[in-house]
Amino acid sequence: MARDEVRIYRSRKPLKTALAVIFSVLAALVVIAAGIFFGFKKYIVYTSEGVKLEVPWLEEPEAQPPRVPEAAQ
């Protein structure tokens, strides 16, 4: 051996790690989307105008007429 050479093994581990992280995030998003879809399925209402999502806690309260005190009448 005429020269002492140092060989460095460069693995593809960073690429595999990045792909694993990306795949995990995508899998989590798919699970969350499926949960939202099946969770809100009971709030979907089909009308002649199309499909509506009627969620009870997002609905605006109906406007009520202002109350007039009886003494002012």
Q: Which residues contact 37 (CB under 8 A, 6 or more apart)?
A: none
Mean pLDDT of 13-18: 88
Please, what is the average pLDDT of the chain?
83
More confident residue, 6 or 45: 45
Which one-letter amino acid corresponds to residue 20?
A
Mean pLDDT of 40-67: 82
At residue 19 the predicted structure's pLDDT band, cuts being 50, 70 and 90, is very high
Distance CA 73, CA 67 (A): 11
More confident residue, 7 or 52: 52
Which one-letter amino acid corresponds to residue 54?
E
Q: Would the pTM count as exceeding 0.85?
A: no
Distance CA 10, CA 16 (A): 13
Q: How many CA atoms lie within 13 A of 53 on its CB side?
A: 9
